[in-house]
Structure 1
Amino acid sequence: MKPINVALCSFGMSGYVFHAPFAAKNPNLNLYAVWERTKNEAVKKYPDIITFRTLDELLADNKVELVIVNTPSVTHYEYAKKALEALKHVIVEKPFVASTEQANELIALAKKNDLKLSVFHNRRYDSDFKTVQKVLENNSLGQLVEAHIHYDRYHPGLSPKAHKEVDTPAVGGLYDLGSHLIDQALHLFGKPNAVFADLEVFRPGAKVVDYFDVRLFYDTFRVTLKSSLFVKEVTTGFTLHGTKGSFVKSRADVQEAALQRGEIPGGEGYGIEPENEMGLLHAEIDGNENRIKVPTLAGNYMQYFDGVVDAIRNDKTLPVTGEEAALVIEVIEACLASNKEKRVIAL
């Protein structure tokens, strides 16, 4: 199989940590080019990479097949549209775009040009989430009653990245961390019937949402998605209750930290959580009450990139489709409307 030439639209944290290592490591991808306006950071780590100073120059290179739009979220729509118009396959960092209107336009453009359009919802490949998914698939909890998914941290100060603190479309905690949690919920449970959301700005001097409490309504169960930047004592990332029992699991995927240290994807111990982070299953099994530790599955973001390769070269279904990512944005829009109108919004 001929490797796919990949071009990054930036080499900040996203490029350095989440994309370049996988494009460089995957035998079916070739880390070919990067767009850096003035710096030369990528070539220091990847000496063979080509550096472009403008997006137009990058898109004009016929050797580029796949463009990763990993720039600030307010630019995603514009840059993804330009890449699709230049007949490149596209991966867009989350959040996909600001609105479902923009999402649907990009999806239609990709289909018109027979191109693949995906969004990097990498948290589907976290060790903790994969383990939760396995517990549900095994029907260990019986009929689900409620699920809580949290992504809490303690960061009361403003981000040093100025673009993350400007009150513009596609910016703020609901679009940022919220995209992860909403995608995880949709991947597990499908589209909800309705949404209620409480959004707030708690950090001194902040202008964008940094707290959210979202309720997703399904026919027979409820899902709560929550995030705050004022949680110093973090507990569980996932709590699920069903008719047979409960499962609780910390949010403990190790991939991001390992990649930030410069570790290579797929190396020894990659994606494996410490044993003390195993989830707890307290449920009735074979008529007996059990309270057992559940081994954690290994996280592996490379599965996402393998899926993109298979989609481009073999016309298989993308690991995350544009339509799936558009549904995340639809839920976010419903959350914004719910918070503004103080009511449940039907989907």
Structure 2
Amino acid sequence: MNNSKINTALCSFGMSGIVFHAPFIEVNTNFNLYGVLERTKNEAEKKYPKIKTFRSLEDLLEDKTIELVVVNTPNITHFDFAKKVINAGKHLIVEKPFTATVHEAEELIQLAREKNLVLSVFQNRRYDSDFKTVKKILDKGLLGDIVDAEIHYDRYDPNLSYKVHKEKNTAAVGSLYDLGAHLIDQAIVLFGMPNVVYADLDAFRPNSKVIDFFDVKLFYKSHRVTLKSSYFVREAMPGNIFHGTKGTFIKSKADVQEKELMEGKKPGLSNWGTEPESEEGLLHTEKNGEIIKEKVSSLQGNYMEYYDGIYDAIRNHKTVPVSGNDGLNVIKVIEAAMKSNIKNRGIDL
């Protein structure tokens, strides 16, 4: 068994590299934060003096010691970068959204399979404290059969992003791809693929050229799920609302990991990813014939679980956390939602 560290390289050192990837790769003893692609700057070297800076993707991919590459570049580049990484014979993590289209996702999955490489989509929100808590409640059957569910990802920010590529009306841009990819993935983890998708998509920020509002309905045989996001929610609704035949569970979106990472805190502390008590969920249901209404403590959030899973997939041939097929299913729902919005009708999957 090969227990050596996995030399890992990042394809950019913007927010995702600084906040969501580098801290976990550096702290995890199974990985070596080896390299980063920065075309003109040396920001990674300032924070991680031992890291190697590459000026082009080609130079990075020529380095034989790199085993794993994280494609955390703008959405529109994911397919092109990922294909080059796979063809270079390296394992791969692609930021969500996986690709712009179903066709691109299928091509990458097939290529990685042919070359026997690990391909994973980075869906860190599976490891949020609130989502883990919701999943535990549902797995225990505490609500009975689910009838109706809502998952929100709201914020108040009417301003356009300073990142120009996020506001250009090109493929894979807009909140349905960025925030929607998280919510769709969570819904599929909980309930599987829906039968029908119906969507209302719009742009409400002044001068916005990309989708910044979505209301996506996923229809299943026995229930429906609403996925919703807006940039004009000053007073947030509960991020998770689940109604079943026995009761209801309501939970805020209160995972603290992104905030802690933005503050420069390192993952791995004993209290890492621990929500304040004020954000406990509310469970109102029937248990053993008795109606109960009680607060539910949140499980601990931990994005490191994702990287632990990546190590096991590469070194121990375990199941890949968030597989290429998982990423593909999200893009299938996004494409159906966009088609639904144009045709103003439900789209069968």
User: What percentage of residue pairs aligned between the two structures are identical?
Assistant: 61
2:29 paired with 1:27: yes
TM-score normalised by the chain length of structure 1:
0.99
Residue by residue over 1:254-280, the C-alpha shift from the partner in whole angstroms, topping out at 9 and shown as x without a partner, is 000101111111113210000000000
Equivalent residue number for residue 318 of structure 1? 320
Instruction: State the partner residue of 1:126.
Output: 128
The residue number in structure 2 matching 1:213 is 215
Select the residue among 302, 305, 315 that pairs with 2:304.
302
Instruction: State the SS of the aligned residue for 1:174.
Output: helix
2:48 counterpart of 1:68: no
Deviations 1:40-82 (A, max 9, x none): 0001111100000000000000000000000000100000000
Large movers: runs of 4+ above 2 Å: none
- State the distance in 2 between where 1:163 and 1:252 align: 28
Measured in 1, the distance between the counterparts of 2:13 and 2:175 equals 22
**Cα distance per residue 1:174-219 (max 9 Å; x no partner):** 0000000000000000010010000000000000000000000001
Q: Does 1:188 align with 2:190?
A: yes
The equivalent position to 2:265 in structure 1, one of 245, 263, 266, is 263
Give distance in 2, aligned partners of 1:295 and 1:231: 26
Alpha-carbon distance in 1 for matches of 2:275, 2:181: 23
Q: Which stretch shows the higher mean deviation, 264-273 or 227-236?
A: 264-273
Structure 2 counterpart of 1:312, which letter?
I
Deviations 1:93-150 (A, max 9, x none): 0111000100000000000111010000110000000000000011110011011000
Given residue 104 of structure 2, which amino acid in structure 1 is its aligned partner?
A: Q
TM-score (norm. length: structure 2) = 0.99
Q: How does 1:9-158 map to 2 (within 5 A)?
A: 9-158=11-160
Matched, 1:233 2:235: yes
1:176 is matched with which residue? 178
Q: Aligned partners of 1:155 and 1:82: how far apart in 2?
A: 36
SS at match of 2:175: coil
Aligned AA (2:173): V
Residue 282 of structure 1, aligned match among 284, 301, 309: 284
The whole-number CA distance in structure 1 between the counterparts of 2:13 and 2:54 is: 12
Alpha-carbon distance in structure 2 between the residues aligned to 1:201 and 1:121:
25
Once the two structures are TM-superposed, the CA of residue 161 in structure 1 deviates from its matched residue by: 0.7
Cα offset, 1:5, TM superposition: 0.3
Q: What root-mean-square deviation, in Å, do the aligned CA atoms of Structure 1 and Structure 2 show? A: 0.5
**Structure 2 gap ranges (5+):** none
Deviation at 1:286, TM superposition (A): 1.4
How far did 1:289 drift? 1.2
